[in-house]
Each structure stands twice: as structure tokens, then as C-alpha cells.
Amino acid sequence: MSMVLPGVVGFKLHGTLRDGVTATDLVLTVTQMLRKHGVVGKFVEFYGRGMEELALADRATIANMAPEYGATVGFFPVDHITLEYLKMTGREDETVSTIEAYLRANKMFVDYNEPKIEPTYSSYIELDLGDVEPCISGPKRPHDRVTLKDMKADWHACLENKIGFKGYGIPKDLQNRVVKFDFHGQTAELKHGTVVIAAITSCTNTSNPTVMIASGLVAKKAYELGLEVKPWIKTSLAPGSGVVTKYLLRSGLLKYLSDLGFNLVGYGCTTCIGNSGDLDQIVADAITENDIIAAAVLSGNRNFEGRIHPLTQANYLASPPLVVVYALAGTVDINFEEEPIGTGKGNRPIFLRDIWPSSKKVSEIVHSNVLVDMFKSTYEAITKGNPMWNQLVVPTADVYSWDPNSTYIPGSIHKDSPAAKYLVDHSVKPGDFNSYGSRRGNYEVMMRGTFGNIRIVNKLLDGEPGPKTIHVPTREKLYVYDAAMRYKNDGQDTIVLAGSEYGTGSSRDWDAKRTMLLGVKAVIAKSSERIHRSNLVGMGVIPLCFKSGEDMDSIGLTGQEQYTIHLPSSVHEMQPGQDIVVTTSTRKSFTCTLRFDTEVELSYFDHGGILQYVMRKLISSAH
């Protein structure tokens, strides 16, 4: 294993969260602060007396957002709250005592009763928990936090702003247009900002008892006051653990979530990775035929455009109780302080303050309903499996048999895309396309989905969104896959020119693997996300970085030139982080930083990728 020794950012917490502010509000605030601070490739360690105010589930939610704020890891030292969590989740007292003794002996346990010396870090950042406000993040990135009180104004600014992370470029006269349609015999309407997906989903947010109980209390109060969710809004509940179902049942709150349409769909990744399923076709047609900027609100970690659902251009991350609230409101175009969520019994206007639970109420329900036995019984059941799992027939061969005609391994793949054409050619019906994520066992499908986001903006198309590009020699507009195959068949290597944070959200190796399969030899970007850069290296793709203050616009690159990357003739002459000169057929010349960060990464490149490197090592050791 090789890695560059990272800088460590110290994040000091003090104070207490105000009443009604959730752990998710804190997470989104921290994510925004760390993105602004700049923590890509760094460790973030949280410290300070404010940690005493955070349950372990709150800490886990913050730490799990490390890819979103760009850090290698978000770390909370072990303290008495950690030990309490271990006991609550069924660990034996003897085990917990051993853990504490070991950590204390190694000076790794935080005891707030002992005198503290301010730790030394590479850089520092600080937050008073009392300053955290209720918020959501979006519409296209996890760190674009918006306070609830500013949401309506921010939404209208997004509609008007030019197309970008915070803009849709909608003409003024079309911003308030209302589209009416018939939804199975009921009059329905859509406008920009209408919520069509509301999903309580995510491995961490939905494993946090405080926000899950809060969502149930919101649902209960809303139901009792006569509020309903519009039937054309796709709602779902996908907890991160079976324990959640047990304490929601015990508290009597699961019923109210179900009454509002938040039915249990399973335990696993759903909307956060694009597995939201199809919208009702009537709703889908109304969105596409009228160019509506429809919204999704989810309690997940990621909201990159095109990821949640192809038809929701606005995607907001929120706490589970706020997901319920936005489903009831039916729009993100609302100021909760001044506008009612809806009309309840007796035509009474119901405001957010009427249904939002106090922190004290949430805490009481958590303490009386989240029990040790729930964790023990759930964990024991995992090792025993279930009848469906236990009855699966397991092959006895050393490797799994592979059907060359198979296309399925588990969102939606666009019906006009190269991947869709491939699937249809292999007798797969459009209704069975599923998602790229669910088909990542088949390289033919995945390769065709590369740069397949329907919202991607390629500068070769003058800002036109969509998964297409220009085949420079013929000037034809083609799908990226089709253009790449034409270049490949002609023996022409290709590169990618990119902006900042290239590869954001691409934590899976497939995103780099299929880039390589398209014939891409190098990526030149203003900056790259840590995991994706590493994966590019593993696939033998050269990661290069423009020098500070430079990009393709400042240099005057159009992407229609031919490029020569002047690497040393031998890998042995290359060094991590060295300067590399790039020249173009239009006589441009500029210097980039080679983002092979270690000697081992250079070895991977020398072998053509990490797989080849490992295989040759194994063969060599066998002889």
C-alpha cells in the first residue's frame, strides 16, 4: 500500500445545537464549510467539547459524508459516547471494557474530565453548534447549502441564473408557468420546483434514531391535522437497518409514515444511487413535454444532476423529517416561515411550526423505544440469513459460469442511448433496462454509459446538455460512445479536458474503467476528486492537472486540437508530481502537473494498470 502523507485538518466543535435543529442540518453545514476550506486528499479530525453533544449516529453521518466534502476520512476519536453506543448495540461489557483499556493505554481515548492540550493540526476550522440552522442542500451538489428561510429566494435565483451548478436559465416569463394534467381521473398540476420524488433513504441518515423518530413524529402530527401527500409524488422509505423498522413499529410511528405514502421498500441503496424506479408515465410525460424543472427531495448523501432520476433536474438533500415536510408541501418553492405547508381539517392552514417536534420530544421517544434487544436480534438474524437467501443454489465450481448472451446482473437507462440500443439488440425489453449501477457486471453496457448523464454539458457542443460530442474529423454530432469507438477504430487515442472537481461522485472503479475502455489515455483537469484520480491511475489513464490559475479557457483551448503529452521516454525517468509539457496542433504549449502521486502509482502505469501489475506479481511469485 502506498499513499502520500496527508495533511490533517482540525475541526473544533463547541456549543449545543438549538431546539429543532437536526443532525442532518449539522452535516450539511459541515460539508459546506469543509468544501470551502479545501480538504481533498486530507484527513479531518473533529475535536472539542461540542463532541459531547453529538450522539455516535450523528458523528457517523458526518464522517460518512467525507467523499462529499472531499476528505480521505472524517475521524471522531473514541470517548464515553462511543462506548455507550457499543453497549446500546449489544456489545458485551467485557468487550467494551477491553476496548476502553486498550485505547487509554495507547493515549487514543478522549476523556473530557482530563486537562486538554490543544492538538496541533495542519490547518484549523471551527464551528459553534448553536449557529447551525435548518437547511437543505442543492439543487445539484451536496455542499450548496441553503437555509430554509432563504430557500424560496434561492430557488427563484436558480431558475433565473444561467445554466450551471446553481442555475437553469429559465426565461422570466416561463418561471411561474403552471401545467395542468389529468392524473388517473384527478386534476393535477406541475410547475418548476414541484416535488415528484420524496425519499427517506441513505445508509447513515436512516440509521440515525433522532432524525428517523423525528420524521415519524412529523408524519403523525401532519396526519392528525389532515394533511396529505399528493398521489403523483413518488414516496419511499428505505432504512439503513432493520433496527429502524423495529423502533418505528414500537413507537407506533411507522403507521403514520405509511399513511402518508412512505412505505417500506427495503433495506439498501435506493434513490441516492438512482434506484428510485420510474415515475408514473403520466407524470413523466407532463415533465418532458413541458420542460418542467421537477424536484426530488431525499435524505441521501449525493444529489448530482442526472443521478437521482433523469427527470428531476433539481435534487435537494434534507433531513428525513424535512423530506416528509416537502412531500406534504409538494414544492421546493416555499418559505416555511410565511407560507403554510397545506390546508388541514376545517380548512385550517398548517405551517411547519405546527408539525415540527421539539428536540426534547424526539429524545424522549428515542430513549423509550430504541432498545438493546433490537440490535441484538437484528444482528443475529443477519448471520442466519432468511429463507429466500438460504435456498439459493450455490455453484460448486471455482468460478461462476458466464452466459455470453447475458445482459443482466441490478434508475433507468435512457431509451435512446447506446446502452439501450445494445440491450434491445440482446432482446431486453425497455421495462427491464434498470440502471447502469445494477448492470456494472457487464462491461458492454457500462462502456456505452460512459459520460451518459443526460445533463452533462460538453463544451464541444457549445453548452448543449446531453451525452453527445462532436467527432472532430467529420464534424458529426454523435453519442460519446459512438464517437469514441470511431476514434478507436481509426487508431486515434483520446483525452478528456475537464474543469474543477472532475470525477465528483465517481467513487466506483467503473467510472475510470469505462473511461479507459473508450480509449481515453489521459485526463487534464483543473482538479480531480481523490477517489476518481486514484481509480484513473489504477486503470492506466494518465491524470494531469492544469497549473494554478490556468484552465482550457485561459490557455485558449477548444478541444478540437490534437494534443501531444511529452512524457519521459521511460517510466524510470518519471517522478510523482513532476511538470509535464503538453503541446497542441495549433501551436499552444502549456505545463501540467503529473498526478501520479507515489512511486507505486508509477509502477501501475508502467504495467498498464493495477490489474496487470497484480497479475504479473502473482505470476512472478508463483515461479
Residue 508: which CATH number? 3.20.19.10
Q: Are 609 and 540 in contact (CB under 8 A)?
A: yes
Q: Do residues 99 and 33 both lie within one domain?
A: yes
Q: Do both 121 and 143 map to the same domain?
A: no
Residue 403, domain member (yes or no): yes
- Whole-number pLDDT of residue 3: 67
DSSP assigned state of 137: E
Do the domain assignments include residue 274? yes
Helix or strand or coil: residue 482? helix
Residues 401 and 504 in one domain: no
> For 460-480, what is each residue's pLDDT tens digit?
988 788 889 999 999 999 999
Q: What is the pLDDT of residue 410?
A: 45
**How many domains does one find in the chain?**
4
374 φψ region: left (φ > 0), alpha (ψ -120 to 50), beta (else): alpha
Percent of the chain with pLDDT over 90: 70
Residue 459 lies in a domain: no
pLDDT score for 15: 95
Domain that holds residue 430: 395-449
pLDDT of residue 326 exceeding 90, the answer is yes
Most confidently predicted of 83-92, 268-277, 322-331 = 322-331
Q: Judge whether residue 236 has pLDDT over 50.
A: yes
Contact between 14 and 48 under an 8 Å Cβ cutoff? The reply is yes
**Is residue 457 very low, low, confident or very high in pLDDT (cuts 50, 70, 90)?**
confident
Task: Report the pLDDT averaged over residues 556-568.
Answer: 95
CATH number of 104's domain:
3.40.1060.10
* 553 — pLDDT class (breaks 50, 70, 90): very high
Q: Are residues 214 and 285 in the same domain?
A: yes
pLDDT for residue 411 is more than 50 = no
Angle (CA) 59-60-61 rounded to 5° is 90
Q: What is the mean pLDDT of residues 544-558?
A: 95
Integer-rounded Cα Rg, in Å, for the chain is 26
Task: Looking at the structure, tell me whether residues 120 and 165 fall in a common domain.
Answer: no
> Is the per-residue pLDDT at 211 higher than 50?
yes
Answer whether residue 47 is part of any domain: yes
Is 290 part of a structural domain of the chain? yes
Q: Which of 372, 404, 436 is the last residue in one of the domains?
A: 372
Residues 439 and 577 reside in one and the same domain: no
Q: Residue 207 — pLDDT band, cuts 50, 70, 90?
A: confident
Domain shared by 126 and 151, yes or no: no
Lowest-confidence region among 98-112, 243-257, 438-452? 438-452
Same domain, 348 and 245: yes
- Return the minimum-mean-pLDDT range out of 96-105, 234-243, 411-420, 554-563: 411-420
**Owner of C-alpha cell 467529420:** 474
Q: Give me the pLDDT at residue 373, please.
A: 92
297, 268: one domain: yes
Residue 233 has pLDDT above 60, yes or no: yes
